[in-house]
Every structure is written in structure tokens, then in C-alpha cells.
């Protein structure tokens, strides 16, 4: 491994299934530049990822010399560039850093792949995350708190004693997307979801309804259709209603599973508008919110990478 001093800039690479984002950042995490591309990891043949990255980052290399790249998430999965292991919980930032792996690239760049995390207490199989561990480290592991990470496969994680103690996945975003695009709604619903809409709030309220007559999730989902048939939900309100119901239901299931109770303080971490939305839903469930930085993923990737590099010296 190199024993050179840290360079003034580092590239944090977020390369997922539908495209990539690359952030050029200083050592304090502040942003210098960023790039986006539409080539997802699965659209690239095995063995071609290095060439694609080298080309995408050419202008930064021209300006700053050979680059240090940190890559978290699905790029290190079975369908990505290389399959990185999963570090078991409870896991500290040092545990994650110890499992990272650095490779040289033809143009002189070095890329460090971060591992994923697995929670062996998952039932019936160990639960998994890839990428969220960097967000959690970026948020900070020095408090004891529950952190929610919205997404296609949303995570609820417990931070305790400087470790990511345990976590669970909820397929909230995936259920929303598949129903919005491919179900009874898809031929009728006319608008994207609007989290600020009354229909979203009404969906959350339906999730919160506690009387037996409301049924479970499989019954409540049908209410998006029956509400339209009854003339109570307009075609441009259906997706908002669906989204509120499903996100609200995630909170119901998390509460039942002991992840929070009314009056608790939790944090919501992410980099899109779902953070604000989840925060509002949390308040509907009587939960207080701890502040969280919007760039937790970048901060966390840098922190893990720096530990990895220092330990490798």
C-alpha cells in the first residue's frame, strides 16, 4: 500500500443499478465538483467497469493527477464490479474500514471498495445493506439512537456504543414503485406522487387507523382503488395516497417491531426529499427528530476510507 500523504481531493463514487454520481471532495468533505451518468452497474459487462470509471473521471484526473476513489453500495455487490463481503453487526467504523479493499486502476487511480453490512440476527435469514453503512458512519456512531434510511429497501438501524448494533429492511420504496407502475393504479393514476398533498397525509392517516375494520396492508392498499371508484380520490391523487399509506405502514410495522415508541427521538438520514417526508410521518407518530447532515454518505465514505488507508500504512 502507498505511504504517500493524503491528496487534497478524493472521489466518492455512488454507482448503483440505474446510474452513477461521483463527488470530488476536499478532506473536510466539502464539495469541489460532481458528475452524473446514466450507465447503471448492470448495463456494463464484467471487466469493463474500470475503463468506464477511468473515462468518466478523466477531466478530474487531468486537473488533480491520479485519483483516490471510494466506492460504496451496489457497485460492490454480486451484480456489480467485484463482490465485497458483508461485515457482521455489531460493527464499528473500524470494522467496516478493515474489510475495505483497494485496487489499482490502469490510469494510475486507486479505488477502494467498501464492504456491506449483514445483521446475523435477521429472521429467517441475515439482513443486508450496501451503502447505508457509509451513511450511518457519516451520521456518527457516538450517540445511542435509531436511524431510519428511506429508500427502495428502507433500513431502520440501531446505533449503540459506537457500533451499528442491528438493522432491519422494509421494502417500502419497492412496493410503492411496483404498484404505482404495474398494478390497478397504473392505468388510472395520472400524476407523480406529491408528498405535500392532502392525499399523502390521508394515506398516512389510513395507515394509522387502528380499528379492526380497516384490515391489514393487503386490504388497505385496495382503498386506493375503492376511493377512486367512490369518487373520493382523483386520478392525480392516487399515487400520493399510495405513498402515504405505504410509508405510514412502514412506521406501523417498525413500531410493532419495537424500533420506536411515541415520544422517542430518532434520526432520518438520506440525501433526497424523502428525508423531510419521513420526518413529517415520524411526527405523525409522535416521534421527535435529531438533526442529521444531508451529506452523511460522503462524510461516512471519507471517514471509512481514511481509517482504511491509515490502518494499511
Q: For binding to a copy of itself (CB under 8 A), which residues are involved?
A: 42, 78-79, 121-128, 153, 168-172, 174-175, 177-179, 181-184, 187, 206, 209, 211-219, 221-223, 226-227, 229-230, 232, 246, 249-250, 252-253, 256-258
Minimum gap (Å) between residue 254 Cβ and a copy of itself = 8
Q: Specify the 3-state DSSP secondary structure of 37.
A: strand
* Cβ-based neighbours of 98, under 8 Å, separated by 6 or more: 308, 311
Q: What are phi and psi of 300, to 5 degrees?
A: -65, -45
Q: How far is the CB of 86 from a copy of itself (least distance, A)?
A: 8
Nearest residue (CB) to a copy of itself, 57 versus 221: 221
Instruction: Compare residues 187 and 313 and give the one whose CB is closer to a copy of itself.
Output: 187
Q: How far is the CB of 263 from a copy of itself (least distance, A)?
A: 20
Cell of 109: 487511480
SS3 track for 122-137: CCCCCEEECCHHHHHH
**Judged by CB, which is closer to a copy of itself: 108, or 257?**
257
47 vs 124, beta carbon nearer a copy of itself: 124
Find the angle CA(80)-CA(85)-CA(91) to the nearest 5 degrees: 130
Q: In 3D, which of 104, 162, 155, 151 has the Cα closest to residue 303?
A: 162
Judged by beta carbon, residue 105 or residue 234, the one nearer a copy of itself is 234
Q: Listing from the earlier edge strand, what are the strands of the sheet with 68-72?
A: 31-37, 20-26, 9-15, 68-72, 110-113, 101-104
- What are the DSSP E strand ranges found in the chain? 9-15, 20-26, 31-37, 68-72, 86-88, 101-104, 110-113, 116-119, 127-129, 145-149, 154-160, 163-170, 265-268, 288-289
- Least separation in angstroms between residue 166's CB and a copy of itself is 10
Grid cell, residue 132, equals 447505508
Q: What minimum distance in Å lies between the beta carbon of 75 and a copy of itself?
A: 16
Q: Under DSSP, is residue 9 helix (H, G, I), strand (E, B) or coil? A: strand
Nearer to a copy of itself among residue 9 and residue 252 (C-beta): 252
Closest distance of CB 191 from a copy of itself, Å: 19
Q: Shortest distance, CB of residue 260 to a copy of itself, whole angstroms?
A: 14
| Residue placing its CB nearer to a copy of itself in the complex, 65 or 120 | 120
Amino acid at each position: 500500500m502507498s505511504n504517500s500523504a493524503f491528496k487534497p481531493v478524493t472521489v466518492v463514487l455512488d454507482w448503483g443499478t440505474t446510474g452513477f454520481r461521483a463527488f470530488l471532495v476536499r478532506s473536510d468533505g466539502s464539495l469541489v465538483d460532481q458528475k452524473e451518468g446514466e450507465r447503471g452497474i448492470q448495463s456494463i459487462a464484467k471487466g469493463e467497469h474500470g475503463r468506464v470509471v477511468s473515462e468518466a473521471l478523466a477531466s478530474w484526473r487531468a486537473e488533480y493527477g491520479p485519483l483516490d476513489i471510494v466506492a460504496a453500495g451496489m457497485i460492490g455487490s454480486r451484480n456489480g464490479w467485484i463482490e465485497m463481503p458483508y461485515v457482521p453487526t455489531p460493527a464499528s467504523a473500524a470494522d467496516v474500514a478493515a474489510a475495505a479493499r483497494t485496487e489499482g486502476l490502469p490510469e494510475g487511480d486507486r479505488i477502494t471498495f467498501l464492504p456491506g453490512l449483514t445483521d446475523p440476527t435477521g429472521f429467517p435469514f441475515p439482513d443486508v445493506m450496501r451503502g447505508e453503512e457509509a451513511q450511518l458512519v457519516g451520521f456518527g456512531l457516538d450517540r445511542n439512537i435509531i436511524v431510519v434510511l428511506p429508500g427502495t429497501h428502507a433500513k431502520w438501524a440501531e446505533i449503540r456504543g459506537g457500533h451499528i448494533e442491528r438493522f432491519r429492511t422494509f421494502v417500502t420504496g419497492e412496493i410503492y414503485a411496483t404498484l404505482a407502475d404495474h398494478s390497478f393504479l397504473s392505468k388510472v393514476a395520472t400524476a407523480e406522487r406529491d408528498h405535500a398533498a392532502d392525499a399523502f397525509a390521508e394515506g398516512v392517516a389510513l395507515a394509522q387507523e387502528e380499528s379492526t375494520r380497516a384490515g391489514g396492508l393487503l386490504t388497505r392498499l385496495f382503498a386506493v382503488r375503492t376511493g377512486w371508484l367512490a369518487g373520493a380520490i382523483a386520478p392525480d391523487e392516487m399515487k400520493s395516497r399510495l405513498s402515504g399509506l405505504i410509508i405510514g405502514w412502514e412506521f406501523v410495522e417498525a413500531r410493532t417491531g419495537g424500533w420506536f415508541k411515541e415520544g422517542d427521538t430518532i434520526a432520518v438520514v438520506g440525501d433526497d426529499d424523502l428525508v423531510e417526508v419521513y420526518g413529517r410521518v415520524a411526527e405523525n407518530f409522535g416521534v421527535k427528530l435529531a438533526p442529521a447532515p444531508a451529506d452523511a454518505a460522503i462524510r461516512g465514505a471519507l471517514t471509512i476510507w481514511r481509517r482504511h488507508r491509515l490502518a494499511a500504512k
